[in-house]
Amino acid sequence: MPGISKKPKLHLSTEQLCQLEKIAQSRTAPLREVKRAQVLFQKYQGESITAIQRITGVSRETIYKYIEKALALGPEEALKDKYHRPKEPTIAENAKMWVVNIACTRPKDHKYAAELWTQSLLARHAREYAPKEGYACLAMASKATIHRILKEHPVQPHKIRYYLEKRDQEFKRKMEEVLIVYQEVNLQNKQDNSKEILNHQTITVSVDEKPGVQAIKNSAPDLQPIPGKYPQVMRDHEYKRLGTVSILAALDLHTGQVIAQVHERYRSKEFIELLKELDAHYPSEYTIRIILDNHSAHISKETMRYLSSRPNRFIYVHTPKHGSWLNLVETLFGKMARTFLKHIRVDSLTELRNRILKGIEEINSNPIVFRWKKFDFTT
- pLDDT reported for residue 131: 94
Q: Is 152 helix (H, G, I), strand (E, B) or coil?
A: helix
pLDDT digits (tens, 9 = 90+) for 328-358: 999 999 999 999 999 999 999 999 999 999 9
- pLDDT reported for residue 86: 67
- pLDDT reported for residue 84: 65
Residue 47: exposure state from Cβ atoms within 10 A (0-12, 13-18, ≥19):
middle
Q: How many separate domains does the chain show?
A: 3
- pLDDT reported for residue 83: 66
Q: Is residue 2 part of a domain?
A: no
Q: Are residues 331 and 196 in the same domain?
A: yes
Q: Are residues 142 and 193 in the same domain?
A: no
Q: Is residue 38 part of a domain?
A: yes
Q: What is the pTM of this model?
A: 0.65
Q: Are residues 215 and 319 in the same domain?
A: yes
* Residue % of the chain over a pLDDT of 70: 92
Q: Are residues 212 and 98 in the same domain?
A: no
Domain containing residue 140: 93-152
Ranges in the chain, pLDDT < 70: 1-10, 83-87, 89, 192-200, 376-379
Q: Are residues 212 and 283 in the same domain?
A: yes
Q: Is residue 376 part of a domain?
A: no
Q: Are residues 37 and 103 in the same domain?
A: no
- pLDDT reported for residue 125: 96
Q: Are residues 277 and 224 in the same domain?
A: yes
- pLDDT reported for residue 198: 44
What is the per-residue burial (b if ≥16 Cβ within 10 Å, else e) of 177-205? Answer: bbbebbebbeebeeeeeeeeeeeeebbbb
Give the chain's radius of gyration (CA, Å): 36
DSSP conformation class of 91:
S
Q: How many angstroms separate the CA atoms of 297 and 267, rounded?
A: 5
pLDDT digits (tens, 9 = 90+) for 113-163: 999 999 999 999 999 999 999 999 999 999 999 999 999 999 999 999 988
Q: Is 164 helix (H, G, I), strand (E, B) or coil?
A: coil
- pLDDT reported for residue 149: 94
Q: Is residue 230 part of a domain?
A: yes
